[in-house]
């Protein structure tokens, strides 16, 4: 279904390793597209369709961030370990391990876009372009918008969510079933769920350490260490050409994306009218066209 990797490997990092796969050849003329998955705490699987861009001469690098997927898991580590600087250091380490620090493009989806923005703010010399897909510039904005989106759910679903959050029983099956109603509206409107997304959800279920620590029990009840994160006011330091992607029904609402558009100098914004949080799965044909066009203009 997806292009097979030309290379798979492990980059030593901290107490373990970062697993990665490369589709295509890093020696091709175009800068590699490095894909940063969401979560934090998800895996690369749900973004594998981006391997198709290798057919256009753009090598594609996927990796699982530390604590997730095929990379080293450290469930005993606490909140002081799982930080934004940790994942920035891991990205730097991977770029260096692959020998691409002088020439690369970042594609960050959801949390991956937040991480990519933090990386770009440092104005690294080798960053040729930046894609921020379905990401908020501010978690306070995200939390405020999530509270608003919840009011669009059926009253009985809202009651169930609030009752369990008040009682601290967000691990109950009833709560999780109610939470899925939010995901069906604002995360992925495709039915049934694409298998690559189901694989990521399963991996997240098997080890929720990073997600529960940094985010919380789900996307709309953010009580983890990222709850006050923001790059608003710092994005003027981004000098790379930037593509913003969001869906019409996205949990990353226009209000959460707007600061990227307002503050980054060289920026475009594409809204996918039939998508929520995962346009690459919900509108795959248009997504590929948008990416191909932007990458061609970048080159």
Q: Which active-site residues does the annotation give? A: 110, 250, 277
Residue 178: its H or E element: helix 173-186
Q: Which DSSP category does 82 fall into?
A: S
Beta bridge partners of 27: none
Q: What 3-state DSSP class applies to 36?
A: strand
Q: Provide the token pair at 250.
A: 């996205």
Residue 298: its H or E element: helix 284-298
CB distance 45 to 64 below 8 Å? no
Side-chain-side CA neighbours of 27 within 13 Å: the count stands at 2
Euclidean distance between CA atoms 53 and 60, whole angstroms: 7
Euclidean distance between CA atoms 246 and 109, whole angstroms: 10
Euclidean distance between CA atoms 29 and 10, whole angstroms: 24
Q: Provide the token pair at 94.
A: 């991977």
């Amino acid at each position: 279904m997806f292009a097979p990797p030309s290379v798979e490997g492990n980059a030593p990092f901290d107490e373990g390793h970062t697993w990665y796969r490369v589709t295509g050849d890093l020696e091709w003329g175009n800068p590699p597209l490095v894909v940063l998955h969401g979560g934090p705490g998800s895996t690369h699987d749900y973004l594998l369709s981006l391997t198709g861009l290798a057919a256009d001469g753009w090598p594609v690098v996927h990796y699982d961030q530390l604590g997730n997927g095929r990379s080293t898991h450290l469930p005993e580590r606490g909140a002081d370990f799982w930080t934004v600087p940790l994942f920035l250091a891991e990205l730097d380490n991977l770029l260096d391990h692959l020998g691409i620090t002088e020439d690369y493009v970042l594609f960050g989806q959801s949390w991956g876009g937040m991480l990519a923005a933090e990386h770009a703010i440092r104005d690294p010399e080798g960053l040729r372009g930046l894609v921020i897909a379905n990401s908020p510039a501010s978690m306070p904005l995200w939390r405020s918008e999530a509270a608003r989106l919840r009011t669009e759910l059926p009253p009985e679903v809202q009651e169930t969510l609030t009752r369990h959050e008040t009682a601290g029983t967000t691990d109950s099956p009833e709560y999780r079933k109610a939470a899925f109603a939010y995901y069906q509206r604002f995360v992925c409107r495709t039915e049934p769920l694409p298998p690559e997304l189901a694989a990521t959800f399963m991996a997240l279920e098997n080890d929720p350490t990073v997600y529960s620590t940094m985010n919380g029990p789900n996307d709309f009840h953010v009580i983890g260490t990222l709850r006050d994160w923001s790059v608003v006011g710092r994005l003027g330091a981004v000098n790379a050409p930037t593509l913003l992607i969001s869906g019409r029904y996205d949990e990353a609402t226009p209000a959460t994306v707007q600061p990227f558009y307002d503050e980054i100098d060289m920026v475009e914004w594409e809204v996918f009218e039939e998508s929520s949080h995962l346009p690459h799965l919900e509108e795959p044909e248009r997504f590929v066209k948008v990416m191909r066009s932007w990458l061609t203009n970048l080159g």
